[in-house]
Structure 1
């Protein structure tokens, strides 16, 4: 009942405008994005196959501790944490928060526990549509180390701003338990709430790469807490790879959203709308890998099917997809961010595959491969396709739905990225 009461408030609320722009974090010379996730409006989970539970009343529960487990991609001597109320319709009253090293299953090491402050105070109210960073604290972390962020909400905290990556690393408990080594009577949460970023303070040169895309980027079929997503494996490759610039560290942030489209919203805001916040808003971002368009193209396969209303205005042409990708390239380059543009992987045999969608994918991929105004093209299509049947995934890389790569396929995707390009 605790979960149901917390989530019920969304059954009757109207979603905010897609054009709403949250408050950006203050610039800081040495703050580097080490972990981040793409925030979603909780009310948009239904298109992702995760319908929210509905409770008998529409009141959110109060007096809750939420705990979120995550892994930074690079280390540093200090940390700060971002809390987001991007999709909230009322102020988010954060009463207390802590960070600690995790020991597994949401448990923490008590000796590592540190309180988080906000302009020196233990909590704050975050306005609807806004985000807030905690004050920086001395807290040395290493790449891949498990961190746990706990937050307490004395007043009702409607679950509005969530993320699904990873989707099995959040818990809730009654009362103020931000300092508890293990949450009492902890319950799993169906989505991660409010915590959307961790920065590290590093007195050294670090590149920060944002992987921007849909479920193929997010790791749709990953049951290991993010370990099978291609951005996670890319970060591992960068840490382990030899080479003249191998010592130059690279952070990799996974900003994928399952079901996301480039041109239109639905499963999250459209790629065009969220690019400024989710990519250019990350601390110290230097590179972006763009892989979007699969769901724009795939929706055209459902025209005329019962129960699958697809508006004519949402059926893209190659030129519209190309213009959308070009807009992202232009925005990134205006901010001095290098762009790696990914080709759209094969999907023959999936519900997305038919003669029209294959032609559309081929046209967009030809355009991507011919780009001279990007820093690199990542040919995910070539890395994943079956040489004997180039419109389909290689069977060894197919998760079984003929659309999403399996663990081996995601490893191949990471291997398709030029590591040296990310270090430059």
Structure 2
């Protein structure tokens, strides 16, 4: 058959397939595999959680029990690492009905709810356009070639964001979500149908400051690529940092590592606002808690099951010692010992870094700021520094403590998300910058010999 007998679309498809096969061959020759590049630890069901700067969601989800209904979500996320191929993990972890998703696409965000023209690619599941996820389940998509990331090391990709669009067919029922995205994403009206194939933003008039159903993004990367998971509570999740500013302390750490190593390391955020090491004792759709399941209860899903994990930085404890948690110092220490034991048993060679808990003395939050909490915090910090459990220590207490008051340094208190005086519990942008800048890079990603 003469090449001229092909239609233009057919020829383009053949060429695209040839490029995809060549990219896969290059990856195989280079010993490439999957590395998690973004994550959002899920909780549920919506609306139980601690979102920040959340718009009114009643236009999108008028009945939380019914959840999302015949509508398309366009979720915006920033990869920490770029690769020529990607795959997505969708979850129904805290759902009570089968979740049907279809019409999924991935592309570069232009701005707002619009995509960069020509970057959109369909996402499939075992070759099919849609997938049903049973209650408590999760599923990975098929691999998607990303021609716009054909040069993953290009500095022009650094900081760019992806838009992942998908249609919720029927009514989802109770929704698994990550409340505190600190990133604006977009949604159609209920009943609008499958609109993810559209590059424009006209079909997406509504916004949300949370992520729903999507909890991980993997990219193809060399097998030795370090993947650092930052595990913790709202101070890892980024409460009081800048909305859409990507200035949580894990973001600062990621930029420092990128400056030193280029596009050869991934830092992902596994924080949940209000999270505790050991509480609550029970968690599920029928027994939700704003801080999500305990660190120990979610360790498998939110850390161990991610791809290529090499290092975990664990910052947690302040909520255990709050009036909501009321945990003893021994309980928190024992919980950390158990968590580190599980990590080392599950991930060969993993480095686990203990982060000291930042001060909250004098907080305006009703649950925080009291003297007993501060004494337990100091005890936990002494254990983290001196107990021999961790491979290294990130001393965030030292980076944020005002010796004159025993609380946060005054310049780190005003809220960067919504303005105002702050709560003397959550560091602002200045505080997170100090925290992320204080981490010894060699403790997170040691030099290879």
> Which one of the candidate residues 172, 192, 198 is aligned to 1:180?
198
For residue 59 of structure 1, report the CA deviation from its aligned partner: 4.0
User: Residue 250 of structure 1 contacts residue 422 of structure 1 at CA under 8 Å; is this kept in 2?
Assistant: no
For residue 146 of structure 1, report the CA deviation from its aligned partner: 1.0
User: Residue 51 of structure 2 contacts residue 209 of structure 2 at CA under 8 Å; is this kept in 1?
Assistant: no
For residue 159 of structure 1, report the CA deviation from its aligned partner: 4.8
Query: Is 1:403 the equivalent of 2:403?
Result: no
More displaced stretch, 393-402 vs 229-238: 393-402
Alignment RMSD, CA only?
A: 2.3
Structure 1 segment 383-398 matched on structure 2, within 5 A = 383-389=399-405, 391-398=406-413
For residue 422 of structure 1, report the CA deviation from its aligned partner: 1.9
User: Residue 219 of structure 1 contacts residue 226 of structure 1 at CA under 8 Å; is this kept in 2?
Assistant: no
Structure 1 segment 232-381 matched on structure 2, within 5 A = 232-241=251-260, 246=261, 249-265=264-280, 266=289, 267-299=291-323, 314-334=325-345, 335-336=347-348, 337-350=350-363, 351=365, 352-381=368-397
For residue 169 of structure 1, report the CA deviation from its aligned partner: 2.2
* 1:295-332 deviation digits (Å, cap 9, x = unpaired): 11122xxxxxxxxxx6xxx5222111110111111111
Aligned partners of 1:388 and 1:75: how far apart in 2?
44
TM-score, normalising length: structure 2: 0.79
Aligned partners of 1:366 and 1:71: how far apart in 2?
35
- Equivalent residues, number: 379
- Classify 1:230/1:65 alpha carbon distance in 2 versus 1 (closer, same or farther; 3 Å): same
User: Residue 48 of structure 1 contacts residue 259 of structure 1 at CA under 8 Å; is this kept in 2?
Assistant: no
Give the structure 2 partner of residue 132 of structure 1.
139
- Classify 1:248/1:68 alpha carbon distance in 2 versus 1 (closer, same or farther; 3 Å): closer
Give the structure 2 partner of residue 83 of structure 1.
90
* Partner SS for 1:202: strand
TM-score, normalising length: structure 1: 0.84
More displaced stretch, 318-327 vs 39-48: 39-48
Query: Higher Cα Rg: structure 1 or 2?
Result: 2
* Partner SS for 1:35: strand
For residue 153 of structure 1, report the CA deviation from its aligned partner: 2.1
User: Residue 99 of structure 1 contacts residue 114 of structure 1 at CA under 8 Å; is this kept in 2?
Assistant: yes
5+ residue gaps, structure 1: 1-27, 300-309
- Classify 1:219/1:57 alpha carbon distance in 2 versus 1 (closer, same or farther; 3 Å): closer
* 1:341-399 deviation digits (Å, cap 9, x = unpaired): 0111111111422332222111111111112231101111111101333x211112223
